A and B are shown apart, each in its own frame.
Chain A
Amino acid sequence: MDIKVDLVQDSIGQLCPMPIALLAKNIRKLAPGQVIEIRADDEGAHADIPAWCEQTGNEFLGEEPGEGFFRYYVRKAG
């Protein structure tokens, strides 16, 4: 995925609810329009990260597979 990433969150090995809790903390560090990449191998993240985006109004840009984990991209709402 050709996206400029401003912050990378390593949630590999973490289980619910830590990836989302960490994402909520990290998104505060970004300016509106900036993008965070979350690396996670918890299967629940597939549903949870888009659901969190829907709830908070941030934009879910998509996911792509890495080696043994997934990358998720979220753009902070303006």
Chain B
Amino acid sequence: MAENKATIVVFSGDMDKVFAAFIIATGCAAAGMDTTLFFTFWGLNAIKKGEPIKAKSLLGKMMGIMNRGGIERLNPSRFSFGGIGRILFNKMMRDKKVASLPELRQTAIDLGVHLLACKMSMDVLEITRDDLIPEVEDIVGVATFVKEAANSKIQLFI
């Protein structure tokens, strides 16, 4: 039976989509829902500390360089222009006083949103627990997602 829960998969590491994920999660938590965000693949960039990851293999190191930075370095899904788009979008949002991504993430954390990270994609990208922000509650697999999602009123994949 569905409980008063919301479960959102954050697969994308695009700035605009991560924005949507945190805004919806904040709204769900504000409405009293027990809200969980599952970060997987590119979405993991939204919960990385932003320091260079300590990958072991050559490919892992290359991936770490290509995929460097944390939530401040996410690029929009369109009009990225090799990183300039991010700066322009951030300026437009600041001018309109929209909360920044780090502020939104902190608001979600303050409202009790649970942050979980996918073990398998961490292994592929050679991201370790130490590379993630300390607010990440647990490192989990698909069964945990299924259990949460099956009991949720809202399930989204972003």
| B27 interface residue per 8 A CB criterion | yes
Q: What are the nearest 6 A-B pairs in CB distance?
A: A24-B30, A55-B31, A17-B26, A20-B30, A21-B107, A21-B26
Closest to B32 in A: A56
| B62 interface residue per 8 A CB criterion | no
**Across the interface, do A56 and B23 meet the contact criterion of CB distance under 8 Å?**
no
- B residues lining the A interface (CB < 8 Å): 23, 26-27, 29-32, 96-99, 104, 107, 110-111
Chain A interface size, as a band, is 10 to 19
Least CB distance from A10 to B in Å reads 13
**Across the interface, do A21 and B30 meet the contact criterion of CB distance under 8 Å?**
yes
Query: Chain A contacts of B107 at CB under 8 A?
Result: 17-18, 21
Closest to B103 in A: A18
Query: Chain A contacts of B110 at CB under 8 A?
Result: 25
- A residues lining the B interface (CB < 8 Å): 13-18, 20-21, 23-25, 52, 55-56
A16 to B99, CA, bound (A): 8
Closest to B112 in A: A24
Q: List 7 A-B contacts (CB under 8 A).
A: A14-B97, A15-B99, A17-B26, A21-B30, A24-B29, A24-B30, A52-B31
**Across the interface, do B27 and A17 meet the contact criterion of CB distance under 8 Å?**
yes
**Across the interface, do A24 and B111 meet the contact criterion of CB distance under 8 Å?**
yes
